[in-house]
């Protein structure tokens, strides 16, 4: 129930932001109706197509047991251990070492890893990363994250469209609506994408800690994930995924970008140091039993 409530809260906040943008940009009842329509369409799309949207955003390709036997069997073994249906297995053609899970529920889930992560992680660390992603599926975080990414992406797209309209259209609006439109344009172009990001931050960071803990329980080896996070952090700096859509960053196990100031200011993940510290504390608890 906790995750369902958080999903509903996130949907309501982001949907409200979309409706507010439309209201202030278009104005009056028409803007309200258009905003409600956009919000309803985006929510339904993200709810039923969240896995396809996320996988397409990163160009993930499905693989079979024949094509990637080691990876496939690892996902299958850990899924059985976690009492989860076997998710789809995907590989992303990118040197950036990363992984993510997506899908609206465990019956419609997928796990994707990059070529980069397959190249740098030993088996026990890759297993810990897969366990982290399966925990997201078990906790239904994948729906929350996919909905957040899709709606935030729609907000960013709307902001871009308004910006282009200002640039090419010159802002020829009715005098009666000029004040409202000016405020709406300011809200959309500057504040809306930032607000959408902050709403994502509110949930994403806590869910990463929870997934790390779940992975530690599933594998019985918290230190393997701690080592993997260290390796992934270093690898991400060497091969940042700068061409990825920032709206989908919360799905990934680690921040995929190069770490400029604004990237750090609006991080969707806890710091790697904090995550490792929490894992090592879990290890002490495991060893004391």
Where in the chain does DSSP place strands (E)?
Answer: 61-62, 88-92, 99-102, 110-114
Q: Is residue 93 helix, strand or coil?
A: coil
How many whole angstroms separate alpha carbon 48 and alpha carbon 149?
14
Q: Is residue 112 helix, strand or coil?
A: strand
- HSE-CB at 274 with a 13 A cutoff on CA atoms is 9
DSSP 220: S
Is 133 among the residues known to form the active site? Answer: yes
Q: Which of 171, 170, 162, 149 is nearest to 190 (CA)?
A: 162
The one catalytic residue among 125, 133, 233, 249:
133
Q: Which of 203, 189, 147 is nearest to 15 (CA)?
A: 147
- Which stretches of 170-271 are DSSP H helices? 178-186, 192-219, 222-238, 261-265
Burial of 44 (0-12, 13-18, 19+ CB in 10 A): exposed
- Provide the 10 A C-beta neighbour count for residue 70: 11
Name, in order, each residue with C-beta under 8 angstroms of 54's C-beta and a sequence gap of 6 or more.
60, 100, 102, 146, 149, 248, 251
- Please list the active-site residues: 133
């Amino acid at each position: 129930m906790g995750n369902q409530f958080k999903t509903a809260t996130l949907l309501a906040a982001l949907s409200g932001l979309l409706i507010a943008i439309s209201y202030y940009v278009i104005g009056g009842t028409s803007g309200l109706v258009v905003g409600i329509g956009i919000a309803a369409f985006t929510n339904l799309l993200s709810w039923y197509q969240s896995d396809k949207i996320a996988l397409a955003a990163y160009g993930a390709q499905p693989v079979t047991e024949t094509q990637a036997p080691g990876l496939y069997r690892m996902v299958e073994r850990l899924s059985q251990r976690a009492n989860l249906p076997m998710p789809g297995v995907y590989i992303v053609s990118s040197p950036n070492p990363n992984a993510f899970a997506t899908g609206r529920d465990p019956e419609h889930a997928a796990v994707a890893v990059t070529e980069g992560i397959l190249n740098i992680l030993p088996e026990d660390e890759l297993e810990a990363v897969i366990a982290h992603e399966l925990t997201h599926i078990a906790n239904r975080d994948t729906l929350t994250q996919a909905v957040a990414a899709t709606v935030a992406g729609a907000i960013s797209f709307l902001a871009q469209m308004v910006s282009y309209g200002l640039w090419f259209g010159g802002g020829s609006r009715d005098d009666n609506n000029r004040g409202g439109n000016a405020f709406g344009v300011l809200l959309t172009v500057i504040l809306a994408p930032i607000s959408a990001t902050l709403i994502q931050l509110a949930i994403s960071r806590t869910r990463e800690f929870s997934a790390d803990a779940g992975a530690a329980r599933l594998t019985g080896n918290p230190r393997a994930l701690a080592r993997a996070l260290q390796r992934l952090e270093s690898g991400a700096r060497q091969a940042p995924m700068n061409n990825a859509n920032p709206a989908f960053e919360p799905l990934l196990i680690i921040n995929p970008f190069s770490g400029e100031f604004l990237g750090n200011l609006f991080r969707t993940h806890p710091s790697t140091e904090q995550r490792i510290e929490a894992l090592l504390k879990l290890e002490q608890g495991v060893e004391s039993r």
